[in-house]
């Protein structure tokens, strides 16, 4: 039995969630910045919550839905969201690097 999701599609999905997580986190940071400055720990938890929310909403899981119980599938969604939230910083760095290359800096 194949318990894990297709790696190629999973990597693409988690990467897309990472980029979306970074965009939403930056938006939250911009809105909240007017009231007070967020610490690194607060940004970590905001990013984690957004990543898990997106993974659960979009049904992206590390495990194959057809071969595992629903509770295990949900744990896979939470793990995919957590992985995506940690990848969000890398996505941001890559986007900044591409912007710098495009701008000739």
Measure the CA–CA gap between 23 and 50, rounded to whole angstroms. Answer: 10
pLDDT tens digits for range 48-58: 999 999 999 99
The rounded Cα 9 to chain-centroid distance in angstroms is: 15
pLDDT tens digits for range 7-65: 778 888 888 898 899 889 889 888 888 788 888 888 889 999 999 999 999 998 888 77
């Amino acid at each position: 039995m194949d318990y894990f999701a297709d790696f190629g599609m999973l990597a693409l999905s988690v990467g897309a969630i990472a980029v979306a997580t970074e965009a939403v986190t930056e938006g939250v940071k911009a809105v909240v910045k007017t009231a007070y400055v967020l610490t690194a720990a607060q940004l970590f938890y905001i990013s984690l919550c957004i990543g898990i929310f997106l993974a659960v909403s979009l049904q992206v899981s590390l495990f194959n839905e057809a071969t595992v119980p629903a509770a295990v599938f949900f744990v896979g969604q939470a793990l995919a969201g957590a992985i995506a939230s940690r990848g969000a910083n890398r996505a941001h760095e890559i986007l900044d690097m591409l912007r710098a290359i495009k701008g000739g800096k």
